[in-house]
Amino acid sequence: MDIVQSQAAPKTRERSPAVVVRRALGTGARYALVIGVALLFLFPWIWLASTSLKAPQQILQIPPRLIPNPVMWINYYYGVTYINFFKYLGNTLIITSAVIIGRLISCSLVAYSLACVQWKGRNILFAIVLATMMLPAQVTMIPIFIIFSRLGWINTFLPLTVPAFFGDAFFIFLLRQFFLTIPKELTDAARLDGANHWNIFSRVVMPLSRPALATVIAFSFIWTFTDFQGPLIYLKDRDLWTLSLGMRGYLQRYGAGGGTAMGAMMAAATLYTLPMIIIFFVAQKTFIQGVVTSGLKG
Amino acid sequence: MTATSKDRQRRWSPTARREFMAGLLFASPYIIGVLVFLAYPMISSLYFSFTRYDIPKTPIFIGLDNYVKLFTDDRFFPKALWNSLYLTIFGIPIQLAFSLFCALLLNMKIKGQAVWRTIYVLPNLMPAVVMAILWNWMFNPRLGLINNVLKIFGIKGPLWFASPEWSKPSMIIMLTWGVGFMIILYLAALQGVPNELYESAEIDGAGNVRKFWSITLPLISPVTLFQLITGIIWSLGFFTQAYLIGGGGTNNPGAPQGSLLFYGLYLYVQAFEYLKMGYASAIAWVLFLISASVTVLILWSSRRWTYYDVV
């Protein structure tokens, strides 16, 4: 707090001691608040990590201890062996990559038609995109399930991946907003040089849109990797489960209390969460930009 | 280019036709997608909602029976509707207010803003399944962290997720912890408020509270509108944590005592546990009508409370 005080003081315009003290108190209160709220946000994470390293008898201890003793690293071994963790991880990654590829291709094409091609009907299509963003997914869930079950696609990854190749309103919107910021002179110059739309799309617009495409990748990853309801409806066969279903497997087998498997369950939960945290740190700017684009300009 | 092609569109000059074909071609994935995954499902679920459709049997037309049954002869449906309204009416304002509060904190002159921002946002990235498992454990009445901390202060904590009275507030606490991206959006909105406005307000002698109500809130109101609508739609369809904590299945879903039987969960149970696709379609259409009318209502009322282009 001393450092803060000495830095805050010179900035004050009036130098009377009373004002200096008041400002310092203000700064102190400010940091106290920020740190207090940060602790509220942090503590569940700490509790997750702490429980994942505790021995069964310590998990049942009252009052609970923060620091595990002994530190049970073996919970992480149990965590990935009680359920078929790596199998589920593999399944989840297959689905997630397919969704990302599908969305990158389809959403950028559609967004290009909305942002860079002057065609009759694009306003209607854009209105549909906006309306779809407001539509609860539950409304179409049942007929889509029936279509996929008629196709014999239950217990395959297809219902979870194929729709991504037909666009997604949110990401089309996001990419359209970005494409509109590309200077028109660039695309016009390319057109004067005789480039057609495909050339402009693939050589001008796409290379300039890496940040927006990164946003599509980052959000698609997070949402698909953690999706629960989709896999729950379509994947009955245990060998096809994703990690979210695998984690539910713990609840089914050991109950909400986790019993003896609590440490293992928390260890698996920690591992499941880790990719999200890594992605966020790698692509923090991308995420924030994406959220801001979707909300502020909408 | 823009003007000329627009003038010529009516006569369908070669340019206009070429542009139309190009536009259609580039948009074709989504046009197919809209037809297959949106238009057809919307229409067929409307049709299914007038049928008895217990898959794998074929649908039988029964008129309005499903809707009549929903509102007169289903003791779970009003409960599910009420639970979701509760989650929305209390949860969304709390989440909006809390995320604005956090954004105001992050917008102050503080060191290490990026670090604090990360800590505030990170819960949003926790998988819903992990969130459900972790908070269920922390809310454990006897062994959980929260009641043991309360005990230090001499408070006997409630049963949280295990009690019908506290299960929904517990859910709201958990979801409020994960507001994350709402904070980011508010923070960006706050940073977009021009400083000159605050400065001229200060010259006029406005205090912090006055500045907040008269400048900050009106100028960020478009973001509030956006978050309100997306938040309500999300909240009405809320499913995953309710399914994992309250339980799905045909036996006592949304326990304790159906207090966690939210709308999305009830829809799931009817469709995928009882396999009553007709009845579930009616539930889905009621959801659609509710969320569409709420959206229209909010958009209509927003003219009175949102401000665009004030500067």
The CATH number of A81-296 is which of 1.10.3720.10, 3.30.56.10, 3.90.1570.10, 3.90.1260.10?
A: 1.10.3720.10
- Residues in B closer than 8 angstroms to A106, CB to CB, are 29-30, 33
CB crowding A162-199: b at 16 or more within 10 Å, else e: bbbbbbbbbbbbbbbbbbeebeeeebeebeeeebebee
Q: What is the mean pLDDT of residues A30-41?
A: 94
Candidates B129, B243, B270: best to mutate against A (most CBs of A within 10 A) is B129
- Residues in A closer than 8 angstroms to B20, CB to CB, are 119-121
**CB contact A119 to B (< 8 Å):** yes
Q: Of all residues in chain B, what percent are helix, strand and coil, respectively (each to 5)?
A: 70, 0, 25
CB-closest option in B1, B134, B137 to A188: B1
CATH 1.10.3720.10 in chain B, residue ranges: 69-305
**Residues A109, B284: C-beta atoms closer than 8 Å:** no
CB-closest option in B34, B37, B291 to A144: B37
DSSP calls for B141-193: TTT-HHHHHHHHTT-----GGGSTTTHHHHHHHHHHHT-THHHHHHHHHHHTS
Question: How many whole angstroms separate alpha carbon B252 and alpha carbon B246?
Answer: 9
pTM, entire model: 0.89
Which run of H or E residues covers position B61?
Answer: strand B60-61
What's the pLDDT at B309?
58
What's the pLDDT at A7?
43
CA–CA distance from B297 to each of B86, B221, B301 (Å)? 19, 16, 6
What's the pLDDT at A166?
96
pLDDT band, residue A98 (cuts 50/70/90): very high
- Residues in B closer than 8 angstroms to A146, CB to CB, are 44, 55, 277
pLDDT band, residue A15 (cuts 50/70/90): low
What's the pLDDT at A19?
74
For chain A, the structural domain boundaries read: 2-77, 81-296
Q: How many CA atoms lie within 13 A of B53 on its CB side?
A: 23
Of all residues in chain A, the percent with pLDDT exceeding 70 is 92
Structure tokens at B161: 């997720």
CB-closest option in B48, B125, B223 to A142: B48
CA–CA distance from B68 to each of B52, B85, B259 (Å)? 13, 21, 24
Tell me the per-residue pLDDT of B1-26, one tens digit each, with 9 for 90 and over: 445 555 544 567 888 888 899 999 99
pLDDT band, residue A101 (cuts 50/70/90): very high
What's the pLDDT at A259?
63
What's the pLDDT at B293?
94
Nearest by Cα to B233 from B308, B157, B288: B288
Other beta carbons within 10 angstroms of residue A29's beta carbon come to 10
Q: What is the mean pLDDT of residues B70-75?
A: 92
Of all residues in chain B, the percent with pLDDT exceeding 70 is 95
Q: Is 90 exceeded by the pLDDT of residue B87? A: yes
Which run of H or E residues covers position B11?
Answer: none
What's the pLDDT at B11?
66
Q: Is 60 exceeded by the pLDDT of residue B299? A: yes
Size of interface A-B (CB pairs under 8 A): 276
CATH superfamily, region B69-305? MetI-like (1.10.3720.10)
What's the pLDDT at B1?
45
Cβ distance B90 to B172 under 8 Å?
A: yes
Structure tokens at B142: 């006897």
pLDDT band, residue A152 (cuts 50/70/90): very high
**CB contact A257 to B (< 8 Å):** yes
Residues 6+ apart with CB under 8 A from A140: B37, B38, B41, B42, B45
